[in-house]
Chain A
Amino acid sequence: MGNVIGIGAAPKRKEDQRFLTGRGNYVSDIKRSGMAAGVFVRSPHGHAVLRGIDKSAALASPGVIAVLTGDDVADDGLGSLPCGWGITDAKGVPMKEPPFPMLAQDKVRFVGDMVAFVIAETPEQANAAADLLKVDYEVLPSVVGVLEAIRPDAPQLFDDVPKNICCDWELGDKAAVESAFKKAAHVARLSLVNNRLIGNPMEPRAAIAEYEPGTDRYTLWTTSQFPHVVRFLMGALVLNIPQHKLRVVAPDVGGGFGVKQFHYGEEAVITWAAKRVRRPVKWVASRSEGYVSDRHGRDHVTEAELALDETGKFLAFRVKTLANMGGYLSTFGPNIPTNLYGPLLSGVYTTPAIYCNVKVVFTNTVPVDAYRGAGRPEATFVLERIVDVAASEMGIDRVEIRRRNMIPKEAYPYQTPVLVQYDSGDPMGCLDGALVAADVKNFGVRKAASASNGKFRGLGYSTYVEACGLAPSRFAGRLGARGGLYESATVRVHPTGQVTVMIGTHNHGQGHETTFAQIVSDKLGVAFENVDIVFGDTDRVQFGMGTYGSRSLVVGGAALSKATDKVIVKGKKIAAHLLEVSEADIQFEAGKFSVAGTDRIKTFEEIAGAAYVPHNYPLEVLEPGLEEQAYYDPVNFTYPGGCHIAEVEVDPETGTVTLVNYTAVDDVGTVINPMIVEGQLHGGIVQGVGQALFENAVYDEGSGQLLSGSLMDYCMPRADHLPMMKVATHSTLCTHTPMGVKGCGEVGTIGSPAAVINAVVDALSHLGVTHVDMPATPNRIWRLLQNASLPVAAE
């Protein structure tokens, strides 16, 4: 007998032992007998016609096994990488969807686009041969910014996509918004940029593929957040491999943040190549390679207008955004700036009319797709920035204007004007909690102390809501999803009473092995250490959609909860048979099946054992065995939310912004493991702080070169950039998920950029500064300060 660990407890993580002792099993750690090494040859140009590739010198290089190009892909009649969402414009016209070949064919469209795959005995030999490949490029001008890309004279990426516009999408009641603007007492306006980001999970992407001629089966080990989806997309749509002959394994994965949730061309090429060369082939990206091939995030240019009445009540909100898609449509690409952005523009406010227009634009940059938060941080940023602008223009306190417009707790469920209905929430409660925790009362004292040291101190608020637990299939289908978004779990009870769970979500740092084991331990009364969680292998787990969009606990945990309920139902049948009573008389509590009102009991272990020893079973009505499976498709998104408060100090001498305090109060619904939730909040917040203060993917217009192409040029947050943060939860329960959970993986990244930038603007507001684009680097702030001190500021 070990410990039963319940929901709400914080046991130490089951997965930690192997990571702490260097015994994790990441893709790059795996070796297969006879393994060869592959490297990708990538375009050095942002935009070029691919005139031809001369393989001869590369093929003659020592140790080379094969050199594969787009022509070989075409000869084998293979498909291109599919996009998972098909959005339509306001008139119902589908988005333009040019093919995304796994190796470039006619043209290259971004620096990093793959043109060839070189396979050799060793990585060194493959690299040497790759250098000898002669690729004939006819270089074309590149366009990397969205504003430039939609000009009539801009270089065009695809012949049939005029002005590079993939889709001109809209949401909301345009007429209602226009009439509200006419009646407004005040209109706040703001133009802003949501900077392009690179996910940078610490483990670079990698893959190994193996083909077994004896069984005609393929195995792909890949750094993926959703191996079953890769199996489906790659098998059915790209390589034509029957699903049962393809195994996809994502073992320990060193962080994802969205970047590892797409089906990448590398996975398809390497799987196809393994059969062609009849050798296992391994590819491990370098960090610099990741910069030009991992999908990027964000990259919006936005104009927003907020109409208010004379009391500061929001009347209408209008947003026009140009969203950069990069060179091709990635798996979820077009879904992010549309379906995951527009519906969140309502935030936690009662704004009655909202209209949003998004032009989804192709440019010569790495394809853009979901990165932690995906669409929702962009929506929160524009909304929480403009609320501050309106407050300052109207002379209303920033907290007060938020209060005046917040959805009161009693108004839930709350239908927004932009599709979604929030089931539960308490934004005011989160705000109140955060004000106290951040000691806002004494901010003035701290500001004065900073001032006496020649520093400017600022405070910034951000309240937010997110839609997560992706997703209800019915809803997603209406919005253009080409797949369902349910989850599956199997609970296998062994004859000894120990339990193995097979689940379709993927653990890459979120602590599923612990949280899911807690759910089983709690519900079945089984010792925590007797529960094992299996994930990330399509041969072991029936099906699943993986981990992204804070869906693991919300959707996967719900499937698991349902499957455990089925185990209890079956256990009761077995107990009724053994105890010779009717099933209705059996109760299950704390790991014991008992006859109601008596002391006759069977333990969970006894039932598990008996399930596999069906002597005298009434086999017509009671099957042997104890294993149950459930699929769960939610009825709605879940809506975590909260309030974040950032406090910064700006050094006017250098322009350096220092984050000095950070407070977050988040509503994530039921908390299964508070230690893990807190860890997710910390990590999420710092990714948002990274966007606000440090991170920026910068391209050179014209050449399309990525200027921030390594960790030397792309500033990642480090330990000494940060203060100790205060995080707390203030939870309302989700009304439709089995355990009341809402999800917590992304909230930090959604709430923090606006809080930090609002604090920076607050610190500089006495100089007439009204907006700062991200990232607020010393250089950007210093320039602002130089301009602010010019007479212009006096106007």
Chain B
Amino acid sequence: MTVQISFTLNGRPTSVDVEPATLVAELLREQLHLTGTHIGCDTSQCGACVVHLNGLPVKSCTLLAPALDGATLLTIEGLTGAPGSNQMHPMQEAFREHHGLQCGFCTPGMLMTAVALATEKPDLTEADVRHGLEGNICRCTGYQNIVISVMAGAAAMHAAKGE
């Protein structure tokens, strides 16, 4: 038995039929072919699957697809710079600039968490960032360059807004 759900995905109206037990991470990856959202664990620990649901970061591996009905969802594929430009988001640029990634597997989830953190609080301290990334595991970078990237990305996001 499937149910039909309608939601806004990366700015576009989307309607799909899903099994009620489908997880959002699976829906994105298997049915909608958006494989940027990764699955790194089965216990909601790693944060590789973080997306924005109605503007808030959530772990899409623990969210059932029917919960999306009527909602707005943003995934890594929808994260871009200024509308109409083909630039990357300032947070993506900051991760590139400060070597905030190695294998890239944790990166989409890190970026989604980072953007949410920076949106919530304009002047992030190192402690804020470290605390805010608690739910995202990276095995490669030792976090140092991620923390630096998030602080730089947050500053760039707010500078852009100020203009």
**A residues lining the B interface (CB < 8 Å):** 12-13, 15-24, 26, 28-29, 199-204, 252-255, 257, 286-288, 508-511, 675-676, 678-679, 682-687, 710-712, 716-720, 722, 724-725, 748
Residue from B35, B101, B106, B142 within 8 A of A686 (CB atoms) = B142
Say whether B62 faces chain A, with CB atoms less than 8 Å apart: no
Say whether B39 faces chain A, with CB atoms less than 8 Å apart: yes
Sample of 10 more A-B contacts, CB < 8 Å, known A18-B104, A204-B41, A716-B137: A12-B96, A19-B101, A23-B77, A201-B105, A202-B140, A204-B40, A253-B103, A682-B142, A684-B142, A717-B143
B52-60, B65-73, B128-136, B155-163 - the one binding chain A: B128-136
For B34, B79, B142, the residue with the greatest tally of chain A CB atoms inside 10 Å of its CB is B142
Do B34 and A725 touch across chains, with their CB atoms under 8 A apart?
no
Do B36 and A287 touch across chains, with their CB atoms under 8 A apart?
no
Residue from A17, A678, A710, A719 within 8 A of B129 (CB atoms) = A719
Whether A257 touches B139, Cβ cut-off 8 Å, given contacts A203-B103, A287-B42, A712-B45, is yes
User: What is the CB-to-nearest-CB distance from B96 to chain A, in angstroms, rounded to a whole number?
Assistant: 5
Say whether B43 faces chain A, with CB atoms less than 8 Å apart: yes
Do A286 and B103 touch across chains, with their CB atoms under 8 A apart?
no
Which residues of chain B have C-beta atoms less than 8 A from A257's C-beta? 139
Do B144 and A722 touch across chains, with their CB atoms under 8 A apart?
yes
Say whether B141 faces chain A, with CB atoms less than 8 Å apart: yes
Do B96 and A16 touch across chains, with their CB atoms under 8 A apart?
yes
User: What is the CB-to-nearest-CB distance from B27 to chain A, in angstroms, rounded to a whole number?
Assistant: 14
In chain B, what residue has the closest Cβ to A684?
B142
Which residues of chain A have C-beta atoms less than 8 A from B88's C-beta? 17, 20-21
User: What is the CB-to-nearest-CB distance from B38 to chain A, in angstroms, rounded to a whole number?
Assistant: 7
Complex interface bits, B82-102 against A, C-beta within 8 A gives 1, otherwise 0: 000000100010011101011
Which residues of chain A have C-beta atoms less than 8 A from B152's C-beta? none
Which residues of chain B have C-beta atoms less than 8 A from A683's C-beta? 102, 139-142
Do B130 and A21 touch across chains, with their CB atoms under 8 A apart?
no
Do A13 and B145 touch across chains, with their CB atoms under 8 A apart?
no
User: What is the CB-to-nearest-CB distance from B8 to chain A, in angstroms, rounded to a whole number?
Assistant: 18
For A684, A685, A712, A720, the residue with the greatest tally of chain B CB atoms inside 10 Å of its CB is A720
CA of A65 to CA of B136, assembled, Å? 38
Whether A711 touches B95, Cβ cut-off 8 Å, given contacts A252-B104, A509-B103, A725-B142, is no
Do B48 and A20 touch across chains, with their CB atoms under 8 A apart?
no
User: What is the CB-to-nearest-CB distance from B79 to chain A, in angstroms, rounded to a whole number?
Assistant: 8
Which residues of chain A have C-beta atoms less than 8 A from B37's C-beta? 22
Do A21 and B76 touch across chains, with their CB atoms under 8 A apart?
yes
Which residues of chain B have C-beta atoms less than 8 A from A200's C-beta? 139
Do B46 and A202 touch across chains, with their CB atoms under 8 A apart?
yes
Do A675 and B99 touch across chains, with their CB atoms under 8 A apart?
yes
Q: Can you list 23 A-B contacts (CB < 8 A)?
A: A12-B97, A13-B99, A19-B103, A20-B111, A22-B37, A23-B36, A23-B77, A24-B104, A26-B105, A28-B29, A201-B103, A203-B105, A252-B104, A683-B140, A683-B142, A716-B137, A717-B143, A718-B134, A719-B131, A719-B143, A719-B146, A722-B142, A724-B147
Interface of chain B residues 13 through 61 with chain A (CB within 8 A)? 29, 34-43, 45-46, 48
**B residues lining the A interface (CB < 8 Å):** 29, 34-43, 45-46, 48, 75-77, 79, 88, 92, 95-97, 99, 101-108, 111, 126-127, 129-131, 133-134, 136-147
Whether A22 touches B108, Cβ cut-off 8 Å, given contacts A255-B139, A718-B134, A722-B130, is yes
Do B105 and A685 touch across chains, with their CB atoms under 8 A apart?
no
Which residues of chain A have C-beta atoms less than 8 A from B133's C-beta? 718-720
CA of A201 to CA of B46, assembled, Å? 11
Residue from B46, B127, B130, B144 within 8 A of A711 (CB atoms) = B46
Whether A711 touches B45, Cβ cut-off 8 Å, given contacts A683-B142, A725-B142, is yes
Do A679 and B41 touch across chains, with their CB atoms under 8 A apart?
no
Which residues of chain A have C-beta atoms less than 8 A from B129's C-beta? 719
Do A20 and B101 touch across chains, with their CB atoms under 8 A apart?
yes
Do B39 and A28 touch across chains, with their CB atoms under 8 A apart?
yes
Do B130 and A202 touch across chains, with their CB atoms under 8 A apart?
no
Which residues of chain B have C-beta atoms less than 8 A from A202's C-beta? 38, 40, 46, 48, 103, 105-106, 137-140
Which residues of chain B have C-beta atoms less than 8 A from A15's C-beta? 104
In chain A, what residue has the closest Cβ to B137?
A716
Which residues of chain A have C-beta atoms less than 8 A from B77's C-beta? 21-23
User: What is the CB-to-nearest-CB distance from A677 to chain B, in angstroms, rounded to a whole number?
Assistant: 10
CA of A511 to CA of B102, assembled, Å? 7
Q: Would you list the 9 A-B pairs with minimal beta carbon distance, nearest first? A: A22-B36, A19-B104, A254-B105, A509-B103, A509-B102, A682-B142, A686-B142, A22-B76, A711-B45
Do A255 and B137 touch across chains, with their CB atoms under 8 A apart?
no
Do B141 and A682 touch across chains, with their CB atoms under 8 A apart?
yes
User: What is the CB-to-nearest-CB distance from B156 to chain A, in angstroms, rounded to a whole number?
Assistant: 14
Which residues of chain B have C-beta atoms less than 8 A from A17's C-beta? 88, 96
Residue from A255, A675, A678, A686 within 8 A of B105 (CB atoms) = A255
In chain A, what residue has the closest Cβ to B132?
A719
Which residues of chain A have C-beta atoms less than 8 A from B75's C-beta? 22
For A19, A204, A712, the residue with the greatest tally of chain B CB atoms inside 10 Å of its CB is A19
In chain B, what residue has the closest Cβ to A720?
B130
Which residues of chain A have C-beta atoms less than 8 A from B42's C-beta? 286-288, 710
Which residues of chain B have C-beta atoms less than 8 A from A286's C-beta? 41-42
Which residues of chain B have C-beta atoms less than 8 A from A253's C-beta? 103
Whether A716 touches B139, Cβ cut-off 8 Å, given contacts A12-B96, A252-B104, is yes
Whether A21 touches B92, Cβ cut-off 8 Å, given contacts A202-B139, A685-B142, is yes
Which residues of chain A have C-beta atoms less than 8 A from B126's C-beta? 724
CA of A294 to CA of B61, assembled, Å? 22
Whether A254 touches B92, Cβ cut-off 8 Å, given contacts A13-B99, A203-B40, is no
In chain A, what residue has the closest Cβ to B148?
A724
Do A16 and B145 touch across chains, with their CB atoms under 8 A apart?
no
Which residues of chain B have C-beta atoms less than 8 A from A24's C-beta? 36, 104-105
